[in-house]
Amino acid sequence: MRALADFVMRGRLQATFAVVIAAALPLLFWVSAAAGSLVVLRRGLHDALGIVAWALLPTLLWWHFGEPRPLLVLFGTLVLALVLRASVSWTRVLLASVLLGVLYGVIIDAVFGETVKRNAAELLELMPQMLGEAYQQMSADEKARVGNLLTPVLTGLMAALLQLLSLLSLLLGRYWQALLYNPGGFAREFRAVRLPAPIAVVLLVGIFLLPGLGIELAMLTPLCSVPLAFAGVALLHGLVAQQRLGRFWLVGLYVSLLLFMQLVYPLLVVLAVVDSLFDFRGRAARDGASGPTDGEG
Domain that holds residue 187: 1-191
Tens-place pLDDT, residues 45-88: 888 998 989 999 999 999 999 899 999 999 999 999 999 999 99
Are residues 161 and 93 located together in one domain of the fold? yes
What is the per-residue pLDDT for 289?
57
Q: Are residues 38 and 158 in the same domain?
A: yes
Residues 253 and 171 in one domain: no
183 plus 166 within the same structural domain: yes
pTM, 2 dp: 0.91
Structural domain count of the chain: 2
pLDDT of 257 > 60? The answer is yes
Q: Are residues 86 and 117 in the same domain?
A: yes
Sign of CA dihedral 185, 84, 177, 247: positive
Residue 209 is assigned to a structural domain of this protein: yes
Residues 164 and 248 in one domain: no
Mark whether 155 and 270 lie in a shared domain. Answer: no
| Confidence grade of residue 133 (pLDDT, cut at 50, 70, 90) | confident
Q: pLDDT by residue (tens digit) across 217-252?
A: 899 999 999 999 999 999 999 999 988 888 889 999
Could you tell me if 229 and 266 are in contact, meaning their C-beta atoms sit under 8 angstroms apart? no
Asked if 275 and 268 touch (Cβ cutoff 8 Å), the reply is no
Regarding whether 202 and 166 lie in a shared domain, the answer is no
**Is the pLDDT at 292 greater than 50, yes or no?**
no
Confirm whether 297 is domain-assigned.
no
Task: Evaluate whether 127 touches 135 at the Cβ level (below 8 Å).
Answer: yes
Measured in whole angstroms, the distance separating CA 38 from the mean position of its chain's CA atoms is 17
Q: What is the 3-state secondary structure (H, E, C) of 136-178?
A: HCCCHHHHHHHHHHHHHHHHHHHHHHHHHHHHHHHHHHHHHHH
